[in-house]
């Protein structure tokens, strides 16, 4: 028994939560003035990916196997986004010394200058900007909150994949 709610409602709610999280990120950027680091941008892309897949699933209204397929894809995206959030949280808890950097420049420069195979390791290696904590809520940084959100999305997707429908 997954839920009494329809699959469409479940995926629509997941999409709405991701859109709300992205809206809050944009509020912090434009109203509060916090500029996102490259790892923050990658996490935003992951939330966009979850939102898009959830929206497609909500519009599709899949059966049991379709729900599981959409949930698996959402879970995979949540794992990718969560791994970036873990890396950034570790950089914030244990900042690198000045000789190390997460990104020598911005993300666009890396992707334009290097092939993807060379750019990805540079993106995930960490910078002072990625290690800087500008905002906290209840003692947790934005990256740590992002990690909790990705973990929640992963838990929901695992629940959908493993539960049986009536």
Identify the structural domains of the chain with CATH numbers, from first to last: 7-162 (1.20.1550.10)
Cβ contact 71:154 at 8 Å: no
pTM of the model: 0.72
Provide the greatest CA pair distance for the chain.
58
Cβ count near 72 (within 10 Å): 15
Lowest mean pLDDT, pick from 39-43, 80-84, 118-122, 159-163: 118-122
Q: Average pLDDT for residues 26-52, to the nearest whole number?
A: 85
């Amino acid at each position: 028994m997954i839920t009494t709610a329809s699959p469409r409602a479940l995926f629509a709610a997941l999409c709405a939560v991701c859109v709300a999280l992205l809206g809050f990120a944009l509020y912090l950027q434009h109203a509060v003035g916090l500029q996102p680091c490259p790892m923050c941008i990658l996490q935003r892309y992951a939330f966009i990916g979850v939102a898009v897949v959830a929206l497609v699933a909500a519009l599709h209204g899949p059966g049991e196997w379709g729900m599981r397929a959409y949930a698996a894809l959402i879970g995979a995206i949540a794992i990718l986004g969560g791994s970036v959030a873990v890396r950034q949280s570790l950089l914030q808890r244990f900042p690198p010394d000045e000789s190390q950097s997460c990104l020598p420049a911005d993300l666009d420069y890396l992707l334009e200058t290097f092939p993807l195979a060379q750019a990805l390791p540079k993106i995930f290696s960490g910078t002072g900007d990625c290690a800087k904590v500008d905002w906290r809520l209840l003692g947790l940084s934005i990256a740590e909150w992002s990690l909790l959100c990705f973990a929640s999305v992963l838990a929901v997707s695992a629940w959908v994949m493993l539960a049986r429908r009536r």
